[in-house]
Amino acid sequence: MLSAIIFFGLTFPQCVLMVCPESISTLSVVSHCPSNATEWVSAAKRKSCNDLGKVQSCTEPDQFVYHCVLNQEATQLLEVCAPVWFLSGYCARFSEVDKRIINDPGLDCTKFDPPCPSRFLSNESFKYQMCYRGASLNNHQQNGAADFITYVLLGIVALLVLTLLILLFVGFKLKRYECARCCGKKRTENDIQSSEGKELLDQSIILSKETKDIEEVPKSIHEAKKRISYRNLSGNIEGSCSLTGIKTICDLRGKLSKKLRIPKDILFVVYEEKGILFDDDTEIKTLKVFPIELMIGNQNRMNDSNIAGVDGDNDDTENDVLSEEFTCKKYTMDCGHSRTADSLLAWTKDRLFHHTDTDLLCPECSSPWDLDKISEVCRLSPDEKRFFQHVENMNKCNKMMVDVAEYEFNRT
């Protein structure tokens, strides 16, 4: 089974970003991508990614394979040799800046007809042809955008002409009033309330009101765009904050950390439905679901030493099968192997979010480790328990779907 990688940036220190400079030299723009397995095999043979796979240092040789994907802007189709990624319901794209296949929330293929699954291998993109449709329609979209701009400009010109006519009309009325006064026609206060004066007064009031509305409506829209609502997965924390000075998830985490008085390293932005934990470089404008969802960890995770299974003040760390870091708090799992709480938490995150394995197995003896037991030892917060369990269930479901798909593919 290929390793599935959903990169979360600075979220997990154990996470390794699979930047692959060797992929850049293999990039080529094409007019179309393979539409079936036969064409895919033929294109892969022509590209000869396996030859470069033997000398590249990004991943295992058999993981460095042929891809036909969108560029980062979804305007062109690219052929490229790159490490296999496990996509989370988004069309595969290749970023020349990041030098890797990326999960970009800007193109959700689970909403297409027919839809793609919530997770699939990046080198199987030929199964989801709707992803390529965006690049082929790019010229039509550009023409449509040009037409839209033309219509907008024509509308602006028409509005300016109408405004000029209104000003000329009002100016003409004011000029007549001024001439009548200069010629000695004295008007009393009642005269001003008469037909012509009242008409002029009403027009001034209407013009003033229209001007006020034009100023106030954009102001309210502007203010609405400058705030974002949030809530945590458990539902006991919610609110909104200003987006002034915020462009990325990292900026938002920093601001919410100060506002909620919660350490930044235990406050994360997630998308529970798809099991995604956003990395710090994700731009806020790409988010599609509001209010945004927060996963908040346990601030007192390591402060309680009275946890079942603790070995006390034993300084021997040789039995820790996950980490060699010094700690006096080690816990014995049901299989008999020891580990530290911090290394166990980091290992669990890595297995849940960066591998397709559906079982949490002891690295030493491959005995299954129960997520509830891990939750107890690592003192997971309610948000973490909920999100970890959801991701574990998704992994099991996706593995079943992948196995069925591979079986059906092999039959054909």
Instruction: Specify whether 159 is located in the same domain as 201.
Output: yes
The answer as to whether 313 is a domain residue is no
DSSP letters, 160-187, are HHHHHHHHHHHHHHHHHHHHHHHTT---
The answer as to whether 303 is a domain residue is no
pLDDT-above-70 percentage for the chain: 73
Instruction: Specify whether 212 is located in the same domain as 234.
Output: no
Give the least confident one: 183-197, 223-237, 336-350: 183-197
pLDDT in tens, 15-47: 345 689 989 999 999 988 998 989 999 999 999
pLDDT at 142: 53
Across 292-296, 309-313, 373-377, the highest mean pLDDT is recorded for 292-296
Instruction: Specify whether 178 is located in the same domain as 132.
Output: no
Give the residue-averaged pLDDT of 349-362: 73
pLDDT at 137: 56
Pick from 392, 394, 385, 332: which is nearest to 362 by CA?
Answer: 332
CA dihedral 19, 20, 25, 30 (to 10 degrees): -70
- b/e burial code for range 230-256 (CB count within 10 A of at least 16 → b): bbbbeeeeeeebebeebebbbebbbbb
pLDDT-above-90 percentage for the chain: 26
Instruction: Specify whether 344 is located in the same domain as 402.
Output: yes
Instruction: Specify whether 234 is located in the same domain as 218.
Output: no
Question: pLDDT tier at 315 (50, 70, 90 boundaries)?
Answer: very low
What gap in Å lies between CA 375 and CA 386, rounded to an integer? 10
Instruction: Specify whether 101 is located in the same domain as 68.
Output: yes
Residue 122's domain spans which residues?
21-136
Q: Write down which residue in 250, 279, 296 finishes a domain.
A: 296
pLDDT at 81: 95
pLDDT in tens, 171-208: 888 877 777 666 655 554 455 445 555 554 455 554 44
Q: Who wins on pLDDT, 218 or 351?
A: 351
pLDDT at 195: 55
The answer as to whether 353 is a domain residue is yes
Instruction: Specify whether 239 is located in the same domain as 215.
Output: no
**Looking at the 3D structure of the chain, how many domains does it have?**
4
Give the residue-averaged pLDDT of 361-384: 84
